[in-house]
Chains A and B, each alone.
Chain A
């Protein structure tokens, strides 16, 4: 793995912020576990892509940008939405297909939107949202609002034409986009090493003269630090930056995945790097938290997730009469 140019210092993170990062990862983990449980109990249908194992990427990166920077993501986006502060109850309600869901029950797991929180959606056409990220960034650039776009996608996206079109345009127009590739080595059941001529994804970006580096996506502080530096550069008007977060999903591609394509040992090796376990250990060693704090955090996220699930369960289903609502925006 390419080493970061600078070691993470995180000197600007106080105790509260460090605990927030841990809480964020724990919330995502617990939310996803609950979603899996609800899927098994047939409260949730369709595709459900869990983020378990990759929490450090969302928590670190999203904490390092401003609350009004746009986020646009792929279909494995529950973690990104939660890290942005989207209400867990409304996310769960969306998974349940309820009227109160963030997308009114029209989108489901792969299409969470919360425009008020500048969360511009989850997209399920691999690489299809990268061009949109360019447009959001172009709007920011022209409006001079100082905001950047964090565009998140998987390693599977890098062999799509839209990836290359978007990187080239962002570079040539110096658009304020921070491209963040979550390289978990698999696109569904396909190992990146079997289908990519260049497996170091960040090198693809360098081919477009975009500054790019690899980050340890299992370490929330490294994610935070690298994103902070990248965001600073993007915001300065020098054009896009590309981060490749090395990470791993501990679960199958979706709930329907029998995982016949990868070895149990490989998954086990990555589980040893569990971003929550390792960060907890670090914070305990550094004396930032103790066992009691951790227990309290666990109880807290448990409560949030239970409350979210209760909210989803009790929410009304969309009435069939509302089927045609939102096909078009009414004339303004």
Chain B
């Protein structure tokens, strides 16, 4: 199987969608002439023209609202919001409109809209460019939230996003764009709500999504050095959430550590911990541990930024504490 980057996997998929369906249009800030802030849509403007690859004003609210309306009106739009931090300016459109229109219209309106955005820290971009707010979107009924980890995930989940008749928030961790992984050449897709066991083990389950699966895998290596076999779960989507896979793994290992870049207080890791408690309490040998981002705005200085993010060592230590 050929190895390609996460970015290339996204690019290939978008290109295929544009070629396959005239109704597909892309909108966002600097996705055309500039080629995309993370170069995902590089070359698209030349190949598909300005009617389908639409550079927008810096107006996040109308970018998303326009995507919603275009979807309602029969197109198959994808909008790009640069980063999740900027998506907050479109929060009204995403939460009050995209997520609720199907319900409040009694099922008459469908919003088949893909909203892509980058997330995560690690490049010293400090407080207003580095947050991981996936859990906020996962909180909203009416939305689906995809959080790919590998290039294989990126392609398979994006395919599914374009087939879904509901709004899909598609979140790409910036640390992943240049990572490589195997992606088959043929057509495939990954259904939403199916986590991947990316490493099998019997002693503890490390649960992560998006970029944090990388740290979880690293922690599993550290644990292996000490003779413990950690199982690593890559959630792939937060809504729908593969509760069965989580519970099945905990049944096997009887210990769980949830890893998340996002703030701990009130975050998605707490939701997972609660689900495990509700559905597998008797299987647990100890409390579910959480290793999350520190409860601070992301600092600039390298040492501080690193200290604010979950580390492999912290994850491994949290797991060891449960042994």
Contacts and interface: CB of A to CB of B under 8 A. Distances in A.
Nearest to A162: B61
List the 5 closest A-B pairs by CB distance, nearest first. A135-B69, A131-B65, A139-B73, A104-B106, A165-B62
Contact of B69 (A131, A161, A330): A131
Nearest to B64: A131
A328 B106 contact: no
Contacts of A188: none
Contacts of B109: 113, 115, 120-121
Interface stretch (B93-101, B117-125, B171-179, B212-220): B93-101
Given A103-B108, A327-B103, A328-B102, A136 B69 contact: yes
Interface residues of B, number: 42
Interface string B137-167: 0000110100000000000000000011110
Interface string A40-62: 00000000000000000000000
B67 interface: yes
A103 B62 CA distance: 25
Given A106-B105, A121-B101, A135-B71, A327 B66 contact: no
B104 A107 contact: yes
A192 to B, nearest CB: 22
Contacts of B69: 72, 131-139
A264 interface: no
A202 interface: no
Interface in A101-121: 101-107, 111, 113-115, 120-121
A121 B109 CA distance: 9
A325 interface: yes
Interface stretch (B51-59, B126-134, B249-257): B51-59
Given A103-B104, A142-B25, A165-B57, A132 B75 contact: no
B61 A161 contact: yes
A308 interface: no
Given A103-B108, A115-B105, A136 B93 contact: no
B107 A104 contact: yes
Contacts of B165: 329-332
Nearest to B54: A173
B55 to A, nearest CB: 10
B163 A331 contact: yes
Contact of B106 (A105, A123, A136): A105
Contacts of B40: none
Interface string B199-217: 0000000000000000000
Contact of A138 (B57, B61, B75, B105): B75
B92 A128 contact: yes
Given A132-B69, A135-B72, A327-B142, A169 B105 contact: no
Contact of A169 (B56, B68, B73): B56
A263 B186 CA distance: 72
Interface in B25-56: 25, 51, 54, 56
